Amino acid sequence: MTPKSPPPARLPVVVLTGFMGTGKSAVGKALSEILGLTFIDSDTEIEHAEGASVADIFASKGEAHFRTLEADFCRKLEGTTGTVVATGGGMILDRSNRKLLENLGEVVLLHTSVDVLAARLGGEASRPVLGSDSLSADETRARISSLLEKREAVYGSIDFKVDTSELEPARVAMKIAARLALPVQSLVVHLSPSREPVPAGRYGPSRIDIGRGVLSKLGPYLKDAGLDEHVFLLMPQNLQDLYLEQVQASLDEESIDANVLTIKDGDVEKHLPQVAQIIDALIDAGARRDATIVPIGGGVTGDIGGFVASAFMRGVPLVQVPTTLLAQVDSSVGAKVGVNHPRAKNLIGAFYQPHFILDDPCTFRTLPMEEISNGMAEVVKSAFVASADVFAFLEDQITVDASVRLRDIAFLERCVLEAASIKTNIVNGDPLERGDRRFMNFGHTLGHALETLGHYRGLKHGQAVSLGMIAALRISVRRGRIEEDLLNRAFALLKWCGLPVEFESFDRNALAEAMLLDKKIKHGKLHFVLPTGLGSAEVVDDVTVDEILSVVEEG
């Protein structure tokens, strides 16, 4: 049983304020997406509660009544977490409101010039504080200037300001996220068995920071680590389309210039020829020994990028930014990097420690469900061999519709924290996989063989590992190490996760050959992980290929 993981970090509250027309609602919605938080617009909430628009409230009951409604709204926010709040421009002028909002979290002022505001607002009747809806352009500008002058003392007292004059709402949100002090949960991985002080990265300690929005903090992390001079981002094209602008906003905040190299994703592309292509691109871009390699993507991107970092110039700094569930819970933790060989998975590789790892669960919102399921296989694996408590937590979810729960960022963030904690604890006790770390290969001997059999185009890693776990559990049942009920519980949980639990037809000889090339064969014997109970396992060397094939043939 591994030690309990630390509790998830408290979710932040971000309050957006500023004059009307500065984009609070649009920016707030974009920021809530980046940070995986709930979005609340004060004017919208008040309108729903009153059953009338802000303009109608002003017209029928006056501004004083509206300000009372704003104060009521503020009081109801006390104790709120995990929220982006867009306030009306006048709400923060009240001292009591201001104190409540400041106590909630970070207050950010959006601002722009009078000319931009005048152009955006015109004489909108829906903006009652401007007065008449028939104001001329000059009158509108004068009214805006007058109101800003009255609010200058309060607005000017807010330290966190962002000019929205020339930025799209999404870009403003990225800029804010890059500057926010976001809560994270940190784990530390040691690759040095002696725990003696060694330089960070390579063989020294590596910190894993888990938290919503940390993708937007890459720039500050690189700056703090002194890795901001020659940065090379390795990203698949689809990840560039989704996240490069967000990453770039973070780098811009720290004036970091970075080269972006496109990497081909997928296990079929995880081979030496692509390593050579990336190294060629690094040389062409002027990379030398002071280069920092930053793979941003799934497990394949991290494995290839990590292997490139370990080999280029005999080793350059590495920073991992995994964006899939599978990569965050497993492949990025523990310093294993490498590529496939046509005859076996991960046959070529090394132990190479990143300086740090950033896990942002908000990136899961763009993953297809199949990729979520893929990662859940490693979460279940970790729980089964190392934590009965985490397995019980996962089992408790089966009563909830999987299509809902497996899309819940809070649940997935908990999975990352639990699985990464389990693996970190095990790796720290056995960094070079000579003891208990071998338990993390549960399901992988057969799983890797199944992936190889499909030439890395068939089953995904998690799907193959799911089948590998079922086979290992069947052998444990046959040998009397576990009760069949435990096999049935694992079967039900894996099926709920959307993973395969039944074997299709296969080439017996080819599967046998693939297993015999497994890295875990020593002295001619296959070292195989068998569960001995929930949260415990053993590595044995007397499981034969024929025994594995026989349980596979059960279907």
Q: Compute mean pLDDT per 10 residues along the chain, 555 residues long, and list them.
A: 64 94 96 96 94 89 92 93 94 95 96 90 61 70 90 95 93 95 88 49 76 96 94 97 96 96 91 95 93 96 95 94 96 89 84 93 96 97 95 96 96 95 89 83 91 82 95 96 96 97 86 76 77 94 90 85
Orientation angle between helical segments 369-386 and 461-478, nearest 10 degrees: 30
Q: How many CB atoms lie within 10 A of CB 216?
A: 29
Q: Which of 43, 32, 301, 23 is nearest to 162 (CA)?
A: 23
Residue tagged 């997406």 (tokens) = 33
Q: What is the DSSP string of 410-459?
A: HHHHHHHHHHHHHHHHHHHH-TTSSSGGGGGGTTHHHHHHHHHHTTTSSS
Helix 272-284 to helix 299-311 angle (10° resolution) is 60
Residue 73 to residue 78: CA distance in whole angstroms: 10
Residue 184 sits at the vertex; the CA angle it makes with 74 and 225, to the nearest 5 degrees, is 130
Distance (Å, whole) CA 390 – CA 422: 10
Instruction: Please state, in angstroms and rounded to a whole number, the distance separating the CA atoms of residues 391 and 361.
Output: 20
pLDDT of residue 335: 85
pTM above 0.95, yes or no: no
Please check whether residue 215 is in contact with residue 247, taking contact to mean a CB–CB distance below 8 angstroms: yes
Question: What is residue 328's DSSP assignment?
Answer: I
* DSSP helix/strand/coil, 189: strand
> Between β-strands 106-111 and 83-86, what pairing exists: parallel, antiparallel or unpaired?
unpaired
Tell me how far apart the alpha carbons of residues 348 and 261 are, in angstroms, rounded to a whole number: 22
Structural element, H or E, at residue 512: helix 508-516
Closest by CA position to 382, among listed 534, 190, 503, 191? 534
Instruction: Give yes or no for a contact between 438 and 529, defined as CB atoms under 8 angstroms apart.
Output: yes
CA–CA separation, 305 and 234 (whole Å): 7
pLDDT at 421: 94
Q: What is the DSSP letter of 127?
A: -
Q: Which residues, in sequence order, are bridge partners of residue 188? A: 207
Dihedrals φ, ψ of 147, to 5°?
-65, -40
**What domains can you pick out in the chain, each with its CATH number?**
13-179 (3.40.50.300), 185-367 (3.40.50.1970), 380-552 (1.20.1090.10)
